[in-house]
Structure 1
Amino acid sequence: MLAAKLVDNVWATRKMESLNGLKFMLAEVIDESDNKQRLIVADTIGAGIGDRVIICTGSSSRQIFEDTRIPIDATVIGIIDEDCHF
């Protein structure tokens, strides 16, 4: 799992049918280095721009979907409520 901040929405008017109805966002991983890794994540919990979130990556990120063959590599699984020192 990773901690990240959601920085923007990602709009895709044309995509695989299995992705229809999913909300995509651009997330910036929170770490102490100057390297700003960004990921496109599926948001299934209604997080918004500026929220700090917990992201699950890899095959585990697909386990919340009924069809585990969906082509998702990163999913928001929680919103961080209190200040944490990463």
Structure 2
Amino acid sequence: MFVGTVIGSVWATQKEVGMENLKLMIIQPIDWKENESGQTVVAADRIGAGIGEKVIVSRGNPARNLFLNKQIPVDAVIVGIVDSFEVHDVSK
């Protein structure tokens, strides 16, 4: 899993079977200082995240498992909208 910011959405009039009602969002991963960290990812959104929100994204098999027994070609899913987070610097 990683934390990222929703920076856009993807509109696709033709999608693979099983993806018809999935909203697709573009996520910019961020680090604990909220700096960009890595390549953008397209993630399925079933919880209603909006542009500018910080989200938790699950990838790979754990993401696909959210669709129960359906074979959906999804690699990333938004699993939470972040209200806030706190990081303590343990190096001091």
What TM-score bracket applies, with the shorter chain setting the length?
A: 0.7 to 0.9
1:66: how far off?
3.0
Cα separation, 2, equivalents of 1:74 and 1:34: 18
Deviations 1:29-67 (CA, angstroms, capped at 9, x unpaired): 002676541000000101100000000000110111133
Q: Following TM superposition, where does structure 1 have runs of at least 4 consecutive aligned residues deviating by more than 2 angstroms?
A: 31-36
1:11 is matched with: 11
Cα separation, 2, equivalents of 1:37 and 1:79: 20
TM-score, with length taken from structure 2: 0.82
TM-score, with length taken from structure 1: 0.87
Cα separation, 1, equivalents of 2:49 and 2:56: 10
- List aligned pairs for 1:19-58, cutoff 5 A: 19-31=19-31, 36-58=38-60
The residue identity in structure 1 corresponding to 2:14 is: R
1:78 is matched with: 80
Cα separation, 1, equivalents of 2:81 and 2:5: 10
- Which structure 1 residue ranges, 5 or more long, are not aligned? none
1:64 and 2:66 matched: yes
